[in-house]
Structure formats: C-alpha cells, structure tokens
C-alpha cells in the first residue's frame, strides 16, 4: 500500500527525519541529491538578489551633454562580480533576474562637476525600465568647476527582468555634466 504524505492526518503526522538530534536553531537543507543536513540558517546559505556597477575616472570623466531633458548617465561601467539574481551590465544597468517579485533597495552615488555656465540645479534619480522611481530623486546645486557629491536610495517591488539605471537632468539653459564617479548598488531587503 502506498501512502501519500499529503493525506496523513492527526496522530500519524510526524516531525522531519533527524529532528530529535538536530541542534537548536537549525533547519533541514536539501543537498539536491536525495539527502540533506541540518544547518544553521545564515545569509550565505540564502540566495538573495545583489549587484553593483561603478565608474570612476577623475582624469577623463564621463560627459553628459546638456539637452534640457532627463538623460541616462551611461559611462562604460565595471561590474562588481558578486551578482546574485542580478545581471551587472557594463552599460550602467542592473537587471533583476530573480524568479519572483522582490522588494529591492537601490543605493546610488555620483561625483559630478558642471562644465560651464551659472550655478545649476541638477536632478539625479533611479529609473526602472526607463521611468523614474518616485522618491528616488535628489536635487543638488552645482557651481561651475566645483566637484559635488550626491547620493540617494529607494525601495522598489521589482519583477523579473526589471532594469535599473541612473538618470540626470541639468535644469539650466546650458552646461554639460561631468561625472567622475557613478555607482548603483542593488540589494534585497
């Protein structure tokens, strides 16, 4: 007679195999080959989304030409190499590749100069799939020739293949933006 485990009820229910000798605070982790072991749950035993890209170049900064509209900050970036459930592109893009919806934290920072003109308000924000994430915007006033730092963060409930990038807007009539450092980090919450 075959017993279907999903049909076991009442006093016939039992604890998992080996629970009587398992250490307090451990859980059973399957090995993938028909067995497993009782282990402490740690962040290294979890597969969580994470990824990062960055650009850093003081001598040859990335120039974002003034256009009067919001534009992607798109230097050739370096991937962290520690990605999990994220594709780290060299095109200043992080793509969430996890199988289910997840709340992600996005942290960004930039080091920027304005090339010319009067003081300008510069808006920096994270975009998802080309659209701004509300609440991710940071506004800073840039004085021509001075280096400025800006950083921000936001949470977003991401779906598989959502991608994230940094965008900027120079609100003045002229003045290219010179980015010496650009970074975006994605982590699970």
Same domain, yes or no: 89 and 19: no
Same domain, yes or no: 30 and 83: no
Same domain, yes or no: 17 and 109: no
Count of CB atoms within 10 A of residue 129's CB?
13
Find the mean pLDDT for residues 68-72.
92
pLDDT tens by residue, 10-67: 777 667 777 778 888 788 777 778 788 888 776 556 678 999 999 999 999 999 998 8
Q: Which residues are CB-contacts of 22 (< 8 A; sequence separation ≥ 6)?
A: 28, 38
By the 8 A CB rule, do 92 and 73 touch? yes
Count of CB atoms within 10 A of residue 59's CB?
5
Which token pair is 66?
A: 């003034």
Range of the domain at 62: 50-188
Same domain, yes or no: 29 and 98: no
Sign of the C-alpha dihedral, residues 107, 111, 116, 117? positive
Same domain, yes or no: 66 and 38: no
Same domain, yes or no: 136 and 177: yes
Same domain, yes or no: 55 and 71: yes
Same domain, yes or no: 92 and 156: yes
Same domain, yes or no: 128 and 148: yes
Q: List Cα–Cα distances, 99 to 21, 32, 84, 85, 95, in angstroms.
A: 34, 19, 12, 8, 12
By the 8 A CB rule, do 92 and 74 touch? yes
Which token pair is 100?
A: 């289910």
Same domain, yes or no: 83 and 127: yes
pTM of the predicted model, to two decimals? 0.79
142: domain CATH number is 2.60.120.40
Closest C-alpha among 119, 114, 189, 112 to residue 158: 189
pLDDT over 90, % of the chain: 59
Closest C-alpha among 110, 116, 121, 118 to residue 176: 116
Structurally, the chain folds into a number of domains equal to 2
Same domain, yes or no: 21 and 72: no
Same domain, yes or no: 41 and 72: no
Which token pair is 42?
A: 């740690």
pLDDT over 70, % of the chain: 95
By the 8 A CB rule, do 68 and 177 touch? no
Asked whether the predicted pLDDT for residue 188 surpasses 70, the reply is: yes
d(CA 165, CA 149): 18
pLDDT tens by residue, 108-136: 999 998 877 788 899 999 999 999 999 99
């Amino acid at each position: 007679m075959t017993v279907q485990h999903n049909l076991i009820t009442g006093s016939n229910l039992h604890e998992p195999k080996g629970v009587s000798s398992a250490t307090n605070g451990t859980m059973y982790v399957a090995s993938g080959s028909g067995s497993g072991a009782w282990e402490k749950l740690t962040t290294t035993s979890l597969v969580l989304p994470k990824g990062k890209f960055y650009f850093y170049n003081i001598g040859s900064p990335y120039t974002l030409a003034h256009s009067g509209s919001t534009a992607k900050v798109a230097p050739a970036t370096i991937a962290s190499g520690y990605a999990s459930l994220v594709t780290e592109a060299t095109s200043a893009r992080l793509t969430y590749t996890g199988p289910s919806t997840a709340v992600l934290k996005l942290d960004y920072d930039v080091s920027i100069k304005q090339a010319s003109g009067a003081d300008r308000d510069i808006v920096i924000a994270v975009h998802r799939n080309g659209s701004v994430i509300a609440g991710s915007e940071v506004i800073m006033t840039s004085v021509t020739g001075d280096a400025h730092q800006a950083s921000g963060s936001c949470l977003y409930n991401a779906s598989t293949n959502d991608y994230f990038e940094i965008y900027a807007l120079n609100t003045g009539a002229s003045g290219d933006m010179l980015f010496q450092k650009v970074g975006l980090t994605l982590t699970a919450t």
